[in-house]
Every structure is written in structure tokens, then in C-alpha cells.
Structure 1
Amino acid sequence: MQSIKRKLVITLLIVMMVPLITFLILSTNIAKGTVESSEISSNISMVDLSSRYIEYQLQEYDQLLFSSLVDEMLVPSLTKPDNISTANVFNTQTYIQDKLFYLYNSRASIQAASLVSIETGNIYRIENNDFFVDSYSHLLKNTESKDVIFNIDEKSNSFSYERNIFRFEDQKLIGKIKIDVHFSLFDPILKDLQNNDEEHVLLLNSSGRILYAPYPDSVKLLSNSVIKDSLGKTVVSQDDGIYYFQKNLSQNIILLKAVPAEVMNVGAAHIRQSGTIILIISVFLTVILSFYVSNRVTKPVIELSKAMENVSEDNFNVKINTNGSDEIGILNRKYKEMIGRIRDLIEKDYKREIEKKDAQFLALQAQINPHFLYNTLQVIGGMAIIKNAKEINDVTQKLSHMFRYITKRQHGLVYMYEEVNHLKNYLHIQQVRFHDKVSIHLFVDEEVKDGLIPLLAIQPLIENCFIHGFESKIDHCMIKIDIQKVFDEIEIIIEDNGVGISESHLSQIQKNLSSKQFIQSGSIGLHNVNNRLKLYFGQEYGINIYSKKYMYTKIIMRLPYQTKGVGV
């Protein structure tokens, strides 16, 4: 049955785990690809959105610079006045200083603001909250441009916005206005774009050189050759990671986000780890479920097999579960019904055998004329008295009482005190027979005298002591008989110090006594008494025998304490 259980468990595990493992592997791989694709798509969107915001910031600074040109006092302040007086120079310088301070303080990231007057040859500049006026002798560039001029200063990590100032009447270039902005302006955007410490976000120039990085270590980690080779593309996937580019911001700045391969694999590793955990849990649950299902299926079969083995050993009191409604449950019920019918047939066979024994016993009684035998024993007793042979008279009287007890009873159960009186007559005769060689100790509990016992249940057991126990024993022989009430049962113990029984013979006797089969025997001895006790009172009652070779033999008889029954 265990092999059936193993086969069922293995089959269930294969059927349940192979599709499960296949599904988990496929789903893990699909999820890994989906996560990578989603990660790439998300980063592309984030880089594009960040680049738009940077472009917006740049346009805002351009608008700030442009708005400073719409001032009617700006052009006159840059033109050489006709009347150069101290007051005019002071007023002009004060106006320019206020205007530059306004630009300088309008944004925290503006490092410097400057204004160049071509006619006067002066440059007015505010830097570190200090106002400077110097002569300007540099060669002007982009003098014809009316758009904003964008320049990058890589040494100071800054960029500048510059616009030419033209006089409206003749469109003559009279000056330039400029603001210098540090790249830290974009720190909030770049840091938001960087999801973790392993990712790197940089600003590049159009040739691929690194302009600015929020974290200086990022510059050391990235390869310039990789960056240069990847320019002109939006997404570049390489062995060391994935690069996302948003190029030509204001035609001069490129936004780069570099995601190392180990960061990209975090999501896949998490999915793989989650899939492994799910697989382990699923396998664990599958094993438990397989054992549970196999136990539910095979347990009734195993129990039925064990019950069959017990029945084959003549034990018909096995417990069989009949609660199931499936085919196994139906089989259990039918098998239990079959055992019941077999048990009934065996009990009927017991009764037939007992009736046969009783018939033989009654036939034996019928062969002897009770009255003739009893009268003859009385005559012998009278003759013994005349001859002054008291012992002969006692033995004759005891024997006559025994025959009267045996012959007048036609039913199976008698009172204990009657059986004990008969036993005393028998023991008296045996003591006369063996003289002082045998010691007999009889104890009878007063509470058991009204109890019922099968006729001639004790004498055959004591007779075995004389026949088998003392037949070759030379030393002094002893028999102890103890009859007492134990709770609601009567316990009769008969023990002798005879030659005992060998282990093999004792084992066979015990096996026969525990068997429910009727043991064919030509006497009303040990097996007959045991079978009669079980027939009258049930299978839980009967005889147990214990012995040790050359030391002792003990017989224990158990029967219920009853005061009413058949035969009384």
C-alpha cells in the first residue's frame, strides 16, 4: 500500500509541478523583458520631459534678458552725452548699476550681469554683489545678431545669455547686455531624473564633452569614448549599461542619463527572486497537497488492508470506517457486513459445538442411573460406618454429593456457592487420594457467592493440576485457589507449583485460547471452559494462562458478576 501511496504522490507532483514550473519560468522571463521595456520607456519619457523643462528654463532666462532691453533709458545711458558733467555721469552710472543689480538678484543662479557701452568704451559688471566699471577693449563678436547669443564657459561650469543693443533710429550697435548663469540652475531637474546613486545624469556639449554633473564622481565613472560614439542617438544599449540622450537643447547642450547594467538588472533580479520565492512556496504547497490528497485516497485502502489482515488472524472485532460515500466507503461497509455475517456463523458454530458437548455430557449422565449410583454410594457409606471406617464414609458421601450436583443440573449457569461446594467435595477426595503430598489453599470472597458461573467451570482446571502438574512431581505439591470480586467482575486465580509448561506448548495454548475458532477436544477441559465463558458472557471474558517450566502454572479466569441469568 505504501508503494501505491508513493506512486500517487509522485504522479501528483509531476502533474502539478511541471506545468507550474514551466509557467513560472516563462512568466518570469516575460516579466523581465516587460520590466526592461517599461524601464526604458519610462526613462525616455523622463529624459524628454526633463529636457523640455530645461529648455523652458533657458527660454525664461532669455525672456528675462530681453525684457531688460525694453527700457527707454537704456539706450541714452549707453550713448556718449553732449554735456559731460559729473551729475550726468553719476546719474547714468546709478541707473546702470540699479538695472544690473535688478538682473543679478532676479535669479539665484545668475553669477554675474554685465553691460557694455561701445561709445564710451566702458563695461559695467556686477559679480559677487560688487559693482565694477572697467574699460572695454575686446573685439566684439556677432555684432549683427539680433537674437540671443548663447555661450558656454566650461571652466566655470556656467553659460551666458547675451544680446546686442541697437539704437532704434539708425539701428547702430551701441552696446551689449549679458548674464552669466551657473549650471547648478538645473540641479533640481537633474537630481529628480536620477533615481538612485548608481545612475548618472550629465550635461554635454555638442561634441560630447562633459559640461556639468551634479555629482562629480559621475564624470570619473563614465567613458568619454562611449559618450562620443553614442552621440546622434536617443537610446544606446551597451554591455555596461543603457544611455539616454536628449540632444541639441538650444542647439548647444545635450542631456544624458546613464543607467548601469546592474541597475537595469535590479528589476529583473527582483522578479527572478519573487518568482523563485513563489516557486518554492508553490512547490511546498504542492507537496503538502499531494500528500494530503494521496493520504485521503490511500488511507481508507490501507485501513481496509490492515482490517483484512486482522480478520485473517481470526480477529473479527476490527474497526472499519464506514462514513465514506465513495467507492471505498461502499467497499468498507460491504466488507463490514460480510465480517458480521461470518462472526454470526462462527457463533452459531460455537453454539452447535457446545450443544454437541452438552448432548454428549447428558448422554454420559443418562448412561448412569443416578438413583442407582447414589443409593449404591449410600450403602457403601453405611457399610463403612458399620466397619468403623470413617474416612471411607466421608469420601463416599463427598462422591455422592458430587454425582447428585452433576446429575440434577440441566442448565448451563449455577450460583458460585454451589460450584464452590462441589469444588470442596472434589478437593476433599483428592486430598484423601494424595494424603499429605498436596496442600490446598482455597479463598472465596463472600461478595461472589450469589454470582453466576457455568456448571463445572472450575473443577476441570484444578483437575489439570493433578493430571499434568503433579503427575511426575516428587516434592510437596501446592494449589492456591483465589475467588474474589474485582470491581464488577469475578476473578478466579488457580496456581500450582507443578512441572510447568514449555514455552512452545504454552504459546500454542495461548494462541488457541485467543482464537475465536472452536477447538475440537474430547474433554470438557481448558478450551471447553474458555469457549463456554465467551459464549455466555462475551469475547472479552475467558481464561489466560501463564507458566514457567519446572516452576509454576497460573490460570486466571475472568467473568462478569451477574446474579440473574439462564439456568438459575
Structure 2
Amino acid sequence: MIWMRNPNVYRVLLVDDEEDVREGLVVEVDWEALDLRIVGLAENGREALEMAERVDPDIVVTDISMPFMDGLELAKRLRERNPLVKVVILTGYDEFDYARQAVSLSVDEYLLKPFSAGHLTELLTRLRAQMASEVAERENCSKKWIASHLVLNVKIHLNIDKETIVLLYVDRWGGAEGEKRQQQALENVMRSINHYLRIPATVGSGQIVNTLAGVKHAYEDALLALDYRLVPGTDPLIYIADVERQTAGKLRFDELKQQTLTRCLKAGTQTELEEALEIIFREITVEHGRSDIQLYLIEVLTTVWKAAQASGEAMEDIFGAGFQLYADLFRLPGLSEAQNKVREVCLLVQHRIASGRQHVYKDIVEQALSFTKEHYADPDLSIQKVCGHLHISSGYFCGIFKKEVQLTFLQYLMQIRMEEAKELLRSTELKSFEIAGQAAERSAELTTRQIVDQVSYNLEDYVRSMSHLYRAIEEHMLRDGTWEGDQDRKVILLVDINFKQMDELSRRVSLGQRGYVYIIDESAGNIVYHPQQQLMYMGLKSENIEQALVATGSYEDEADGQKRLNTVKSVANIGWKIVGVAYLDEIMTTRQEVNGYLIRVLLVVLVLVILVSLFLSSSLTRPIRRMERKMKAVERGDFNVELPIEGPLEVERLSRRFNLMVNKIRTLMSEIIHEQEQKRRLELEALQAQINPHFLYNTLNSVVRMVGMSRNEEVITMITSLSRLFRISLSQGKTIITVREELEHAHHYLTIQQMRFKRKFNFSMNADEDTLECLTLKLVLQPLIENAIVHGIEYHMDEGCIEIRVYREGDKLVFRITDNGVGMTEEQMSKLLVGSPIVKSGAGSGVAVRNVHDRIQLYYGEAYGLEFDSELEEGTTVWIRIPLQWEREEDDVHDEQ
């Protein structure tokens, strides 16, 4: 069926999930008198959206709560497709917040349920007048635009050589009011471009002019304002008046900036260069035009070019052939890209200059090292002399020398002189002052001390070595003239040795009570010193000299029937051997004594360590173990424990905090218990009096529609069921009712819903006879039935079926509710009882289902409650398990409350 559009008749699409409401609206409202025509009826948002594509409605009247897609989502999608469509929302009192949200989403009108035909007629009349006014205004604007377009073509000539949108705003207001209206018009243009075209755009606005002749100048000002879009942070709506008021003068890349940038490029670090560029770029602000910014950046690049050219860099590698870099700079889309390009070129030039400078440094340092090694013995060698040879300044030389060698020049000079002094000391017979002279030091004492520090050599040992003694004798004889020419002469040297001192030295060596040390001459094979010299002369004592002369290290022998250990050591430059004699029996005895002593000491120390460890461990762990016992008591639920404040400081702090924690927990537990008791009473009182407002509004609305359509029998049935539903819900304030009453309450609720949904589903109830007088919490079936209808049956395309079964299961009473609806996923079932509800509020809320589960567990314990089983497209089954209780136990249940 196709409706031909009449410009004076507006098309209406009605959307509601209840057929009675849709039929009632069609019958009760005189649509033709309102110049309105109904072009479609839809039972949910998804169907309405598809129908709107075909019939293109001017007005959409929709319920807010519907399956598949609610009214708010429908309004949003309709507005995205056609911003001119008018949307009227029908809602209940409990969804007043949704109504407010609808207004914020530019929904045109909303009507609260239940409403009469008069209310809807009044709303549609008001909306019809508003739409007629908007049409007239659009036509008037179109006429004005056409008239002004014709005038402009005749009177004004604008040089437009590219695609440009020119907005000429003609208004009779002037001054501040005119500027305000101009701003509003331009902002509307920006919003329309962003919303419909979805492309980035910038709007430039010229000065307000009072004559058509000034429009050309205003156009040129607008183009000039557009130049400022390169500046980052600039608003996409640019007024030339604002820009000109902020102008602070042209950009100037003065001499100071040039010098700073050149210094950073040639000798600065990367950080210094980036800081200098940051200062240079900071000069660019929103008040500078595109041409000024380009000229400023060209001056910066010119300074970089000069610095690179002065350093001998290949200019084409950096700036491109024919200075292509300048052309590339002009083609960049914005200022940030241009700044990044300039920064990149500066860093490249700095890196190349630094690399070239590094090669020059190495050449200078190598020449300085060579010159220093050749003249290190010159006493007058200094930094100034080296710099004079290289023709550079001392300050520059010191910096590059330390950077390359990691030493100052004086440290390096001292190092090579010390190396030479060490070599002279090892390989020549020069005196220390002679070595100092050759090493060009001023003081022999200073040089000797430095040499000793460098080579770690004991100077006294060196001076006392026998080689010095030989040279001293030789030098003395030469001075006396007793040894002339190359004559070979035999000389007898008499040396007087004080045996007393040698005896004292030998006695210092401990080799047991009978052990001793003696000295023999390797060349003559004679004994030079023996502590028992007299016995040796008398023949009462003898030594095996032959074996000692050939032996090295240690060997054993036997004298007078006793074994001995002989240790032989040669003395360099003298030709003597020192022999130490120790008796083995004394060595073994001493060793055993030492071992025994060490063992006793170790045992005593070990016992002390163990005792101290046990004491410390007990001292440290005793308070911890005591705290552990108290914690276990708290874990078992005993909150009346308290720890003594004693022990180490840390333990005292822990004990104090533990006591505070237990006291706080005890207090909180008492508060929680009290609050839970209060909450339980309040929740139960609220639940007893609660009837879902959406259900009540829709029921009353259905009654109104059926009365209007003279369906009196159905009205009587629905009102009777509703009144009995109220009676059982109130039940004289009782919380516990019989299963018979609970099933009757569920039957009335299902009867009402069956009539509202046009018998879209059937239901059946079956209860074992011995369960009807059992006691149960009131209102446990209705939320679950409502959930089955709203989330299961309403979304099901075929006829629905709800089955309620009550039976015994051991000592438990079981309610089973089964539907053949759309089912649930595992994730949805997991959220029903422990997570977030499937919906936040309204009909069939997951909150109501979870409240039933919580109420059962509060009354009967965690062993009872709800259990779900569901499969998608198959249906859902819910089990309610509570303990078996008979009517005589009702008083006990009330006492538990």
C-alpha cells in the first residue's frame, strides 16, 4: 500500500509492544481532524526502524520499554537518518528519569502513562502547529537566500579561484548583538559540516560591514583569517577581528638568535640545540600570519645553511639539489610539521659538524703526544710550549686533550716521566738523584718517593742489596788507584762478621726446643755459622754438609738415632745457604697440641653460638608465635582476644595494631549485624508493598483501552484478577503465606499478563496435594514469572508456554518454573545471582530475581535459594528450594524474623 504525500497532512508511525494500546490509539484519536495520517503500526523498535525506511514518517509515537529495541534507541537512530522527524515518547512514572534523558536527546514530547485520548490529542495539536511553523520558517529562509544570492551576483565580484564556501550573513542587528548572532550562525555551519559531511573544516570570518560594497573586503579578511589555521591550538572558527587585536608585531629572527643557533650547531650539545630551537619556535604565536611564519622559518634555515657551509659540509646532501628543502617546507600542511622539519635539519647539521670536528681533534692530540714524548726530559716543557708548537690556544688544547686522552696534560707528562724513571731504576746503576735529573725533576727526594709509589718497590731493600755493596767496594778501590788498567789480580777480602748478631737472628727462628739454624758457604763447602760452633770444632757435633749443598727445599735425615727435617734456602748474590734443622718428634707433638687446642676452642665457640642463637630465636619468635595463636583465634571467629604490648619495638607496634584491628573488626561486626537486621526488615516491608509500576500502568492502560472498545467481559476479568492480586500481596501484613496462596497470586498475575499480551502464551500450574498447606515466603513466584515473560516469551516468535510445578524433594519444598522462551547464555545466568543484573531496572529486572534469592537465603540459610538451567532458543527452567515447613510452624518463622 502506498500513501501519496499531501503537504498539509503529516504521516504518523505508532509503535507499542501491546496490541490493545495500538488499537486504542487508532480508534480513540481523530487523526483526520488533526491533519495527521497513520502510515504504520509496529510492535517493537526494530520493526519500527525497518518500517520508517519505507513510509518516511513525520511523527513517531513510541513506547519507551519494548523488546529488541527500546524507545530511546529508536529515537536516536531515527534522528540519525532524518533529523527533521518528530518523536513522542510514551512512558510510566517509574521511568521519569528516562523521560528526562529523552528530552536531553532532543526527543520532542513525552506523555506519562496512563493517559487519555484527550491528552494525546492536545499533544499532537501542539506538535502539529510547531511543525507548520518550522516549515514556514524554512521556506522564508530559502527565499531570503535566493534574493541575496541574486544581489551578490549583480553587485559583488569576488576573486574565487578554488572551491570555497562563502557565507554572507545579513541581519538588521548591529554592534554586540550582531556579532553574537554572527557567531551563532557560524557555529551552526561548523556543526552541520561535522555532522553531515564528516570532514575537517576551518571557518574564517571577516569584519562586519554595513554595505554591499564592503563585502569584498570582508571576504579578503576571511581569507586572511584562514592563514592562521597553521598555528597549532587554533580554534577551527577564526575571527579576523580577534586575530588583529592580538597582533604583537612581525616575527624577527634577530642577531642574538642567529648567534645562539650558530654556536649550538658548531660547538653545542644536542640538548642545548633543542633548547635553542624551543626558544626560537616559541616566538610563533596565533597572531602571526602564514607568510610571516614562512619567512621566519626561512631565516632560521638560512642560518643553518651558513653554519654548514662554514664547516665544509656537502650542502646538496642536506638541503637537496637546488635547495629543494625550501620548497618542501612550503608544501607542509601545518606549523608543527614545518617545525619538525627544521628541527630534523638542525640536528643533522650539528651531527655532521661534530663528526668533522672529531677528526681534527685526533690530529691535534696525536701531534701533541708525539712532541711530548720527544721532549719529556726538557725541564721547561709545559702546556704553553706544546701549544706554541701546534699554534693553538692553551684553553682549546686542554679541552680536546683531556677529551681524547682522558688525562690532563700534566698528568700525562708525569706518567711518561714515571715510566722512564722506573725503567732507569730497573736497568741501570744510576743513583736516585741521577735518575731524577734525567727524568727532569727538580728534587731527587720527590722523584724517589714518586718512583717508589709508582713501582711499589721497597727502596731500603734495594739500597741494602749486595750488588750495591760490590759496586761500592769496586768504586772505592778504583778511587784509591789500587786497580788500574785491564790487569787481572787476585785480591783477598777480609770481612769481620759479628757472630753475636747472627746468633741473635738465628734464635728468633722457632724450630722447637732442640731445633736450630746454621749457614754454609756454597763455593767452599764450609760452615759459616753454627749455633753449636764449639762442639763442631771439638768434633762432638757434625752436619751432613754434602747433602745440604746439593739439596733444595726440604729433606729428612737421622742423627744420634733421631729423625730430623732439614730445610735449605739459598741467599742470592752471596753464595750462602741457610739450613734449618727441626726434630720430627717435636714437630708432631706441637702439631697435635695445636690441633687439640683448636678443636677445644672450636667446640666452645660452637656451643656458645648455638646457645646465643637459641636465645635470640626464642626472644624473637615467642611474641610472633603468641600473635599467631591469637590470629588463629580471630580466624575461628573469636574477636575478644587481646595481645600484651611487650617484646621488641617492632613486635610492640604489631601487637598494638593487631589489638586496634580486632577492636575495629568487633565494632564493625556489631554494626553490620545491626544494619543487616534493619536492612532485612526494611527490604521485606518494601517488597511486601511493592508492585511493579510499569506492570500496573500498562494494566490500567489496557483496561482503559478495553473500556473504550466496549470489551467489558475482559475488563471485569482483568480488574478482578488485579484486585485479588493486591489482596494476596498485602495478606494482612504477613510475610509467610501458604503455597496455595502463593500459587493463587501467581495465577492472577499470569491471567492479567495473558490478556495484555493477547494470549501470546499459555500457562499451567500443578502442585502435589500435600504441599498446598506448606509455608513459603510471599512473592517468590511473581518476579520469576515476570522475568520469563519479559525476557523469554515476549522475544519468542512462536506461542509461549509457562509451566509451574510444586513438589517435595526430601525435606525440601521445590517450585519449578519452566518456559519455552529464547533462553539465556552461561554469562547471563552467572550474572543473575552473583554479578550485575541483566537490566538495571524496569520490568523483568535481574534485581528482582536476585532479591528473591537473597530473601530466601536470609530466611532459610545459604543451602537454599534459586537454581537456573537454560539453553538458547530452547527455554529456561528455574528451581526454588526452601525447607519444608507446615502452618503450625508459622509462629517460629515469625520469631526468627
Range into which the TM-score falls when normalised by the shorter chain: 0.3 to 0.5
| Bigger share in strand | 1
Using structure 2 for the length normalisation, give the TM-score.
Answer: 0.26
| Bigger share in helix | 2
